[in-house]
Each structure stands twice: as structure tokens, then as C-alpha cells.
């Protein structure tokens, strides 16, 4: 049996000037699940619905139903306007099963969180959007994994950065959209974004 292929992350980190919050997932799903060429591309993932609900008052604000895709131009405008950066905790992975589950991802190369934080002098909050991302973030920063909806502080070059663990936005995570959004709202309010 041949070795499983290594996948390389398809995107550079999205780091708008002045970004204060960095959202970190684990790794994108397979390309066949994408509705756009950007973070959280799966149309069944609730991430952009949560952002639409919190920032626009409508979970479908960033969705183009006639094209069955998210509105990437609006997403980039919104994240730039509100200082929200995007990346993932893994640069290279192997899928141990042919699905998007974090449970079956083997990390080949993690993202250097310190290098990302260095690029963002205004950064106050890093948010792991799921269990595996939270574990990898804690390993990268030598901190403990916080409970869901809470944060720990990371002392980085004279700054105290909050490291959050929030619920996964995957539909597989058994929590209603509004309940997930409440966790994200608490974080954005603490970060003075909302």
C-alpha cells in the first residue's frame, strides 16, 4: 500500500492591515466541497452564517443562493473593515480517511502561530474554531487548552493575547446555529469588534 498523499494548504493567511482577531480552523475540506476559494468554503459549514448573523443581522447575508456560493468580495470587505484575519493551524496534512473530519487529519506541518502574531501588531485575540485547532494552538503557544467559550492568555513579545476555544462551525458539531453564534458574539464583544 502506498503512503497517503500530503496535502498543502491552498491559501496564504488572510491578514488585513490592523487585524485584531485571528480566526484559526484546522485545514480546508477537499476541493470538491468548496463553494469559493477562501477559508470555510464548504456551503454546509456555519462559519459565514454566524458572521452574517452577527455583523449583518442575517445568517444568509454572505450567501448567494442563485449561485450556491458565499460572496467572497463581501466577505473580504467585512473582514477587512472589522479587522478579522483568517488562517488555519496546519500547513500540510494527510487525510487518514477520505473526509473533512479533523479527527482523521494527520498533521505533517503545523502553522507557526508566533510568525502570524508577529505580522499583526494590533492582534489581541486568536480564536480556535474547534477542538483540534484549539489543541494545536495550545501546543504552538505552550498554553493550556481553554474550555469552550473561554480563553487563556498568551504572553507574546510584551503583549497579552487572548487564546479562545469556540465551538466548531461544522454542521457535524451538535449545537444550533444561534447557540454557536452566542459563543462567537461573546468573543467579538470581548475583542471590541462588536
Q: 29-53, pLDDT tens digit by residue?
A: 999 999 999 999 999 999 999 999 9
Backbone phi, then psi, for 123, in 5-degree steps? Answer: -60, 125
d(CA 106, CA 143): 21
Tens-digit pLDDT profile for residues 70-109: 999 999 999 999 999 999 999 999 988 876 677 778 999 9
Q: How far is CA 4 from CA 29, 89, 100, 105, in A?
A: 16, 20, 15, 11
pLDDT of residue 75: 98
Supply the Cα-derived Rg of the chain in whole angstroms. Answer: 16
pTM score, whole prediction: 0.94
Burial of 50 (0-12, 13-18, 19+ CB in 10 A): buried
Helices within 29-176 (DSSP H only): 47-56, 72-82, 113-119, 131-141
Backbone phi, then psi, for 24, in 5-degree steps? Answer: -125, 115
Q: Is 56 helix (H, G, I), strand (E, B) or coil?
A: helix
The b/e string for 150-183 (b: 16+ C-beta within 10 A; e otherwise) is ebbebebeeeebbbbbbbbbbeeeebeeeebbeb
Cross-strand partners of 93? 7, 107
Picking from 90, 80, 60, the residue whose alpha carbon sits closest to that of residue 15 is 80
pLDDT of residue 100: 67
Q: Which three cell numbers stand for residue 56?
A: 449583518
- Domains of the chain are 7-190 (3.40.470.10)
Amino acid at each position: 500500500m502506498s503512503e497517503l498523499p500530503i496535502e498543502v494548504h491552498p491559501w496564504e493567511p488572510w491578514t488585513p492591515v490592523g487585524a485584531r482577531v485571528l480566526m484559526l480552523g484546522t485545514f480546508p475540506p477537499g476541493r470538491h466541497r468548496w463553494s469559493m476559494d477562501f477559508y470555510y468554503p464548504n456551503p454546509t459549514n456555519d462559519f459565514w452564517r454566524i458572521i452574517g448573523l452577527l455583523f449583518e443581522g442575517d445568517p444568509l447575508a454572505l450567501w448567494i443562493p442563485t449561485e450556491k456560493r458565499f460572496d467572497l468580495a463581501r466577505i473580504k470587505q467585512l473582514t477587512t473593515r472589522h479587522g478579522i484575519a483568517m488562517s488555519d493551524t496546519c500547513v500540510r496534512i494527510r487525510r487518514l480517511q477520505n473526509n473533512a473530519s479533523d479527527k482523521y487529519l494527520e498533521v505533517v506541518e503545523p502553522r507557526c502561530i508566533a510568525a502570524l502574531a508577529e505580522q499583526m501588531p494590533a492582534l489581541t485575540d486568536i480564536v480556535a474554531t474547534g477542538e483540534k485547532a484549539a489543541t494545536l494552538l495550545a501546543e504552538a503557544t505552550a498554553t493550556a487548552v481553554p474550555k469552550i467559550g473561554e480563553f487563556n492568555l498568551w504572553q507574546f513579545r510584551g503583549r497579552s493575547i487572548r487564546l479562545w476555544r469556540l465551538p466548531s462551525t461544522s454542521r457535524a458539531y451538535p449545537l444550533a446555529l444561534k447557540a454557536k453564534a452566542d459563543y462567537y458574539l461573546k468573543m467579538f464583544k470581548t475583542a471590541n469588534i462588536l
